[in-house]
């Protein structure tokens, strides 16, 4: 007896769309269509061809979030028959009302002459929020779209002002011949740790759906040491996520092995020209074997092999990111964080477009604009208090909360070989 596929599995089908509005401008015929299906092949193809497209706007993401009770509202803008812009937001009912989350969107080409298209997309976004009865929509523009955030600010969106949305990231460009080999940017200490991992017998194996319970436990143990809640919060949510992205060949899970035991794990999503290093886990064993350094380095090599351009580490401490961007020294406290570990692989720090809020109700917009300075002050006060407590606390051990940190202060970047396999000695 056959069984239907899980609800989170993407299905290829002709998109079901409802025409919302048409606009004729400068000889172009723009049409806005509403799609509430979990997946939409035309939309995904457009995303993967756009430098602004990221997996959080893909149908697979909407499909797996449906398992957590989120519904999909997707507005696709077509120029004739071709998708040229749009957005996908997910919506959930809370005890306060219906809220929406537009993550890494809207996707709007902002080249010269696209102002009419941009205004059309913003109009569709505002009307969709009102039509759907949303209390508020949380919006964060694509990583490469700070101009989109500026556009939204000019159209009634307010800065969130709070830091529960990721504010910065670290990326490594692995396909830029003019800039040289990405390995040249890897910190000397990190290169040495990768070589030690290989000489110590650490190996990398790819995982599959049967390894998800193991990955979840490694991720949960890491979160427990860091004092944060795991996300995804359950094994089922992780399985739904894997099902959605693995079904379209966009997910990769790897484990760093030693002596038959999995020490560290990494889950990546491949979408367009970007590989996102989304979640990791480590059981805190084998610190001197450097499994974390090896698993990240191997993932960078894999990103290069499959022809993607960018590896995205997802999160970075915004203060460290600003220091890197402004070429300022970092503090010893910043070096003693897991974020400093990421900078060992070279690359570029990036401040992401600021998160924003849209209240369809003008009165709520007025209230939040007045309350926001107080909320920002309270958050800053809490951070300063936590920082003072951290400075008074004993220095954490390198095997616990300082995961994969270097054992020496940062060193100048220097040219190295093509990788650890080509280096015979330390």
Classify residue 1 as exposed, middle or buried by CB count within 10 Å of its CB (0-12, 13-18, 19+): exposed
Tokens 């929406």 correspond to 100
Count the Cβ atoms, other than its own, within 10 Å of residue 138.
Answer: 17
Alpha carbons 270 and 248: distance in angstroms, whole number: 10
What CATH architecture does domain 169-350+401-420 belong to? 3-Layer(aba) Sandwich (3.40)
What phi and psi, each to the nearest 5 degrees, are found at residue 272? 60, -130
**Which residues, listed in sequence order, are joined to residue 90 by a DSSP beta bridge?**
72, 101
Alpha-carbon distance values, 91 to 85, 131, 135, 368 (Å): 20, 12, 10, 21
Q: What 3-state DSSP class applies to 239?
A: helix
Instruction: Write the class of the CATH domain 18-155.
Output: alpha beta
Give the containing element (helix H, strand E) for 93: strand 82-94
Classify residue 305 as exposed, middle or buried by CB count within 10 Å of its CB (0-12, 13-18, 19+): exposed
DSSP letter for 43, please: H
pLDDT per position in the chain (426 positions), as tens? 434 444 454 444 456 789 999 999 878 899 999 998 888 999 999 999 999 999 999 999 998 898 888 999 999 999 999 999 999 999 999 999 999 999 999 999 987 668 899 999 999 999 999 999 999 999 999 999 999 999 999 999 998 877 678 899 999 999 865 557 899 999 999 999 999 999 999 999 999 999 999 999 999 999 998 888 888 889 999 999 999 898 888 999 999 999 999 999 999 999 999 999 999 999 999 999 999 999 999 999 999 999 999 999 998 999 999 999 999 999 998 888 889 999 999 999 999 999 999 999 999 888 888 887 777 777 676 666 655 554 544 443 333 333 333 333 333 333 333 333 333 233
Strands (E) located in 174-244: 203-206
Q: What 3-state DSSP class applies to 365?
A: helix
Residues 74 and 42: beta-carbon distance below 8 Å: no
Q: Which two tokens stand for residue 312?
A: 């995205």
In 3D, which of 336, 219, 339 has the Cα closest to residue 283? Answer: 219
Domain boundaries, the chain: 18-155, 169-350+401-420
Helix, strand, coil share (%) of the chain residues, nearest 5: 40, 25, 35
Count the Cβ atoms, other than its own, within 10 Å of residue 351.
Answer: 15
| Side-by-side strand order, sheet with 251-258 | 203-206, 251-258, 261-271, 274-282, 310-312, 168-173, 348-351
Q: What is the signed CA dihedral for 422, 205, 298, 284, rounded to 10 degrees? A: -110
């Amino acid at each position: 007896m056959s069984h239907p596929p899980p609800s989170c599995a993407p299905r290829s089908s002709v998109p079901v769309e409802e025409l919302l509005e048409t606009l004729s401008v400068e000889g172009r015929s723009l049409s806005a269509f509403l799609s509430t299906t979990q997946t939409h092949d035309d939309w995904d193809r457009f995303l993967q061809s756009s430098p602004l497209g990221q997996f959080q706007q893909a149908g697979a993401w909407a499909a797996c979030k449906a398992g957590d009770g989120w519904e999909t509202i997707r507005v696709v803008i077509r120029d004739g028959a071709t998708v040229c812009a749009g957005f996908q937001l997910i919506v959930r009912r809370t005890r306060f009302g219906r809220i929406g989350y537009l993550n890494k969107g809207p996707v709007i080409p902002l080249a010269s002459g696209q102002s009419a298209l941009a205004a059309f997309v913003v109009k569709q976004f505002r009307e969709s929020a009102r039509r759907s009865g949303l209390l508020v929509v949380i919006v964060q523009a694509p990583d490469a779209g700070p101009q989109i955030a500026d556009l939204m600010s000019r159209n009634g969106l307010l800065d969130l002002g709070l830091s529960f949305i990721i504010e910065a990231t670290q990326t490594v460009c692995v396909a830029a011949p003019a800039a040289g080999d990405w390995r040249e940017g890897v910190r000397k200490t990190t290169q040495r740790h990768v070589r030690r991992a290989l000489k110590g017998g650490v190996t990398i194996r790819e995982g599959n759906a049967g390894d998800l319970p193991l990955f979840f436990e490694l991720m949960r143990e890491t979160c427990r040491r860091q004092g944060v809640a795991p996300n995804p919060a359950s094994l089922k949510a992780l399985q739904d996520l894997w099902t959605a992205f693995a079904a379209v060949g966009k997910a990769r899970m790897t484990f760093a092995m030693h002596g038959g035991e999995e020490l560290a794990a990494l889950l990546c999503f491949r979408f367009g020209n970007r590989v996102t290093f989304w979640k990791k886990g480590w059981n805190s064993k084998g610190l001197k074997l450097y499994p974390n350094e090896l698993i990240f380095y191997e993932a960078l090599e894999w990103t290069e092999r499959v022809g993607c351009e960018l590896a995205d580490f997802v999160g970075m401490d915004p203060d460290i990111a600003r220091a890197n961007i402004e070429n300022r020294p970092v503090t010893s406290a910043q070096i003693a964080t897991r974020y400093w570990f990421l900078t060992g692989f070279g690359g570029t720090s990036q401040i992401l477009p600021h998160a924003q809020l849209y209240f369809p109700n003008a009165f709520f917009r007025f209230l939040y604009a007045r309350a926001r300075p107080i909320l920002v002050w309270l958050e800053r006060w809490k951070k300063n208090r936590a920082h003072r407590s951290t400075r008074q606390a004993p220095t954490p051990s390198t095997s616990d909360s300082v995961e994969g940190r270097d054992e020496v202060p940062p060193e100048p970047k220097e040219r190295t070989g093509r990788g650890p396999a080509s280096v015979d000695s330390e």
